[in-house]
């Protein structure tokens, strides 16, 4: 075989392979879309079946959730589960947003490059820790520490779970916010320094407002992650649906109920089985709204440089 023919065959194979790659990527994109629609269809079909037995109004406005009780005592008011989920999320936000934002400001504006290259990967290691480890950390470390100062605190409580969830989402806020702040052009910083601003003034009054869209989007995405957290709240917060705003009490979140019900002895197509999908659909709506809000904020406050 001549050298020209061998070169021609290699070139043809390469062109064929390059022509297949877009088709493979398109198939992967369609697969993800089909999977998403399949999940939504499953949730919708089972949720509709649930609402044929339980009025939607009583589900949305009811203040008692006793799905795992005997059939005569079953109540399906989701407000206690929603309250528990929001209580954990708000507590996690109080812990994670200040710490995560402060970490991002330090890494972006104050840390030397050598220190940043060490600290940022170490901080992001927190995101790789399994959530069940955070749950056991909450009941073995956080709860005993809290009970030292508050002896009346329940062993299972929303406060410990909130702190653990907050620690878990700190890397997300810190990393995304730091990326947004480092994307601000250096000439803006230099102009502020030229006007006599201090490094802290540049960070808080120039860089942070310029990166506001990315920072707020990181908050919303992290809180979406907190809303959907399962293992930490299942282990540390308890399993008592409780319509309360007191973080020292035992609560149950939507995800915790789904774990409890799915791991229990419930019959297929029973009302309790269908309630798992109704709660899952409610959780899906919450996270969808949060993600749409993050996208809107990113578009609304985005700065073009």
Give 161's pLDDT tier (boundaries 50, 70, 90).
Answer: very high
Q: Is residue 83 part of a domain?
A: yes
Q: How many CB atoms lie within 10 A of CB 266?
A: 17
Whole-prediction pTM value? 0.84
Q: Is residue 211 part of a domain?
A: yes
Whether residue 147 is found in the same domain as residue 286: yes
174 pLDDT more than 80: yes
- As a whole number, mean pLDDT of residues 199-225 equals 88
Nearest to 189 by CA among 177, 206, 205, 204: 206
Whether residue 46 is found in the same domain as residue 85: no
Whether residue 120 is found in the same domain as residue 228: yes
Domain count, the chain: 2
Whether residue 207 is found in the same domain as residue 134: yes
304 pLDDT more than 70: no
pLDDT in tens, 262-273: 876 777 778 888
Q: What percent of the chain has pLDDT over 90?
A: 29
CATH number of the domain bearing residue 167:
1.10.3720.10
The domain in which residue 244 lies consists of 71-300
Helices 158-182 and 212-227, interaxial angle, to 10°? 150
Whether residue 163 is found in the same domain as residue 207: yes
Q: Is residue 193 part of a domain?
A: yes
What per-residue confidence (pLDDT) applies to 19?
78
Whether residue 223 is found in the same domain as residue 87: yes
Whether residue 147 is found in the same domain as residue 176: yes
Whether residue 139 is found in the same domain as residue 90: yes
Q: Is residue 66 part of a domain?
A: no
Tokens 């954990």, located at residue: 88
Nearest to 207 by CA among 97, 108, 96: 108
């Amino acid at each position: 075989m001549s050298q020209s023919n061998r070169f021609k065959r290699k070139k043809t194979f390469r062109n064929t392979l390059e022509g297949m790659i877009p088709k493979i990527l398109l198939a992967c994109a369609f697969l993800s879309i089909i999977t998403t629609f399949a999940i939504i269809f499953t949730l919708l079909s089972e949720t509709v079946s649930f609402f044929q037995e339980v009025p939607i109004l009583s589900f949305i406005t009811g203040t008692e959730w006793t799905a795992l009780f005997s059939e005569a005592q079953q109540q399906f008011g989701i407000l206690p589960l929603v309250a528990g989920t929001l209580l954990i999320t708000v507590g996690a936000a109080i812990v994670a947003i200040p710490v995560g934002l402060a970490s991002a400001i330090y890494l972006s504006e104050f840390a030397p490059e050598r220190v940043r290259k060490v600290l940022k990967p170490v901080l992001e290691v927190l995101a790789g820790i399994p959530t069940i480890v955070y749950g056991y950390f909450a009941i073995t470390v956080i709860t005993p520490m809290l009970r030292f100062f508050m002896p009346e605190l329940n062993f299972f409580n929303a406060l410990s779970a909130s702190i653990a969830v907050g620690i878990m989402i700190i890397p997300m806020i810190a990393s995304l916010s730091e990326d947004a702040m480092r994307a601000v052009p250096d000439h803006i910083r230099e102009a502020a320094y030229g006007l006599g601003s201090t490094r802290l003034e540049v960070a808080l009054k120039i860089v942070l407002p310029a990166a506001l869209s990315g920072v707020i989007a990181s908050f919303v995405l992290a809180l979406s992650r907190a809303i959907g957290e399962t293992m930490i709240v299942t282990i540390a917060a308890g399993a008592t649906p409780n319509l309360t705003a007191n973080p020292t009490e035992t609560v149950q979140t939507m995800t915790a109920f789904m774990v409890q019900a799915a791991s229990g002895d419930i019959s297929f197509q029973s009302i309790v089985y269908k309630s798992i999908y109704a709660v899952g659909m409610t959780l899906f709506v919450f996270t969808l709204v949060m993600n749409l809000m993050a996208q809107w904020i990113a578009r609304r406050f985005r700065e073009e440089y």
